[in-house]
Amino acid sequence: RNALIDKRYRWKFPIPYILGDDLDLNAKGCVHQAFEMYRLKSCIDFKPYEGEKTYIKFEKRGGCFSSVGDQQNGQILSLGSGCDHKAVIEHELLHALGFYHEQSRTDRDDYVDIWLDEVTPGLQHNFNKYNDDYITDQNTAYDYESVMHYRPFSFNKNESIPTITTKIPEFYNIIGQYLDFSKMDVLRLNRMYNCSGPLTLLDQCAFEYASICGMIQATSDDADWVHTKSSVGAEDHTLLGKCRDAGYFMHFSTMTGKPQESALLESRTLYPKRKLQCLQFFYKMTGSSLDRLVIWVKIDDGTGTIRRMKKIHTFYADSDHTWKIAHVPMEVGAKFRYAFQAVRGDPSASAGGIYIDDISLSETRCPNAVWRIQNFSKIMETADTNTVIDSPRFYSPEGYGYGVRIMPLSSYTDYTGHYTGLYFHLASGDNDAVMKWPAVNRQATLVVMDQDPDIKLRMSTARSLTTNMMMTSDGKFFWDNPSKVGKYDPSCGCYRGESWGWSNFVKHFDLRRRNYLKNDDLIIFIDFDVFTWFSDARAYIYISRDKCSAARLKGTVNGPTCHLTATALLRYPSLSQHDRRGLTLVKLLELLGLYKL
Per-residue pLDDT at 590 exceeds 60: no
Residues 495-519 have pLDDT tens digits of 999 999 999 999 999 999 999 999 9
Nearest to 361 by CA among 432, 278, 417: 278
Q: What's residue 532's pLDDT? A: 61
Neighbours of 325 (CB within 10 A): 18
Question: Higher pLDDT residue, 583 or 438?
Answer: 438
The mean per-residue pLDDT over the stretch 356-361 comes to 99
- What backbone torsions phi and psi does residue 549 show, to the nearest 5 degrees? -65, -40
- What is the overall mean pLDDT for the chain? 90
Q: What's residue 444's pLDDT? A: 98
Q: Cα(320)–Cα(286) distance, rounded to whole angstroms?
A: 8
In this prediction the pTM is 0.89
Which of 37-46, 226-235, 552-561 is predicted with the least confidence, judged by mean pLDDT? Answer: 552-561
Residues 258-300 have pLDDT tens digits of 999 999 999 999 999 999 999 999 999 999 999 999 999 999 9
Per residue, the 3-state secondary structure of 312-362, as one string, reads EEEEECCCCCCCEEEEEEECCCCCEEEEEEEECCCHHHCCCEEEEEEEEEE
101 marked as part of a ligand binding site: yes
Q: What's residue 221's pLDDT? A: 87
User: What residues contact residue 386 under an 8 Å CB cut-off, 6+ apart?
Assistant: none
Q: Apex CA 537: angle with CA 585 and CA 445, to 5°?
A: 90
Q: How confident is the model at residue 96 (pLDDT cuts 50, 70, 90)?
A: very high
Specify the CATH architecture of the domain 201-362.
Answer: Sandwich (2.60)
- Which of the residues 92, 102, 235, 266 is marked catalytic? 92
Q: How confident is the model at residue 220 (pLDDT cuts 50, 70, 90)?
A: confident
Q: What's residue 74's pLDDT? A: 96
Q: What's residue 572's pLDDT? A: 32
Q: Cα(146)–Cα(137) distance, rounded to whole angstroms?
A: 13
Neighbours of 404 (CB within 10 A): 23
Per-residue pLDDT at 534 exceeds 90: no
Per-residue pLDDT at 49 exceeds 90: yes
State the DSSP code for 367. P
125 marked as part of a ligand binding site: no
Per-residue pLDDT at 40 exceeds 60: yes
Per-residue pLDDT at 553 exceeds 80: no
CATH number (3.30.2130.10, 2.60.40.10, 3.40.390.10, 3.30.110.30) of 3-192 reads: 3.40.390.10
Kindly state the helix (H) or strand (E) to which residue 493 belongs, with its residue range.
none
What is the rounded (10 degree) CA torsion for 169, 173, 175, 181?
Answer: -130
Residues of the chain with CATH 2.60.210.10: 369-532
Q: What's residue 533's pLDDT? A: 53
* Contact between residue 33 and residue 85 where contact means Cβ atoms under 8 Å apart: no
Single-letter residue type at 332: V
95 marked as part of a ligand binding site: yes
Q: Cα(557)–Cα(554) distance, rounded to whole angstroms?
A: 8
Per-residue pLDDT at 593 exceeds 70: no
3-class SS of residue 26: helix
Residues above pLDDT 70, as percent of the chain: 89
Per-residue pLDDT at 585 exceeds 90: no
Per-residue pLDDT at 591 exceeds 90: no
Q: Cα(271)–Cα(311) distance, rounded to whole angstroms?
A: 19
User: What residues contact residue 319 under an 8 Å CB cut-off, 6+ apart?
Assistant: none
Residues of the chain with CATH 2.60.120.200: 201-362
The mean per-residue pLDDT over the stretch 110-137 comes to 96
Q: What's residue 544's pLDDT? A: 39
Q: Cα(324)–Cα(78) distance, rounded to whole angstroms?
A: 40
Asked if 92 is an active-site residue, the reply is yes
- CATH code at 369-532: 2.60.210.10
